[in-house]
Each structure stands twice: as structure tokens, then as C-alpha cells.
Amino acid sequence: MYELLADAYVQQKNKPAAMAELETYAKQGGRTPATLKQLATLLEEAGRKKDAAAALDRLNYIAPQDEEMHRRLGDLWMDQGDVAGAVREYQAVLAQKPLDPAASHYNLARALRTAHKTEEAKEQLLLSLEAAPGYRPAQKMLLELSR
């Protein structure tokens, strides 16, 4: 029911009402991954990144094999300065053999660099370049860290 109402509100371009329905759904114990991802997207679009991260973090217990969720949550944690959370989420992405290993290793390297773990970051950058030798962001960061 919450999902149907939220979809109707989205169709009417009433995102605040859709978000309110989905927040109620989550508070009532809703566990459908797609619905909780939709809530996280609406929250993020509304500038409520902390709440979006909390919605995605809840999915860790419901759908731990969701690569997209781990990547999005890692990005949100990085934006909020929660480097340990970002490292954890990017490691979870890599544990699932992602479709884009170069970007996944690069994301982990970014988080490790922010955590002042330069040698570990370099190792991840080398793995990124092993997966895609021409991956410019990894090349650039590796040069910066090697200076």
C-alpha cells in the first residue's frame, strides 16, 4: 500500500509526499529492497544525505549482496566524511566481483587515501590499473601519491 501511494505521488510530481509514505513504510518495518532504494534516492535528491545513508545502511541487513547499494552507500559515507564506513562499503563491492573492477578499486583507493593509508591506496590503484590499464583517474592518483 505504501509503495502504491508513493508511486502515485511520484507520478503527480509530489516527491515530499512520496518520501513521507516511504519513510512510514520503512518505520513500519518494510523490507523490500527496491522500495528502500527509492526512499534513499528521494532523500538524497532532497538533500537529506544522512537519512539516505541510513536507509541504505538498513539494506545491509536485508540485501547484503546488493553491489549498487554498497557503492551508493560508500559514496554517501565519503560525502559525509565517514571514511571508515566508505572503506567498508567499497570493500563489500569488491568482494562481490563487480562488473567494473577498475572503478571499484579506485573508489576504495580514494577512501584509503582520505584515511591516510597511502600504501594501501597505492595497492588498490595498481589493482585498478591491472583491470583497466588506461583508467585515467587511477593513473592520476597513483602519480600524485608517488610524488
Q: Average pLDDT, stretch 113-120?
A: 97
The domain segmentation of the chain, as residue ranges, is 1-63, 65-147
Q: Report the share of the chain in percent with pLDDT over 90.
A: 97
CA distances to 17, 92, 104 from 65, in Å: 30, 9, 15
Q: Average pLDDT, stretch 75-97?
A: 97
Classify domain 1-63 by CATH architecture.
Alpha Horseshoe (1.25)
Name residue, grid cell 510530481. 13
Report whether pLDDT(40) > 90: yes
pLDDT of residue 147: 87
Classify domain 65-147 by CATH architecture.
Alpha Horseshoe (1.25)
Q: Average pLDDT, stretch 81-104?
A: 97
Report whether pLDDT(67) > 90: yes
pLDDT of residue 64: 92
CA distances to 53, 79, 93 from 75, in Å: 9, 6, 12
pLDDT of residue 2: 87
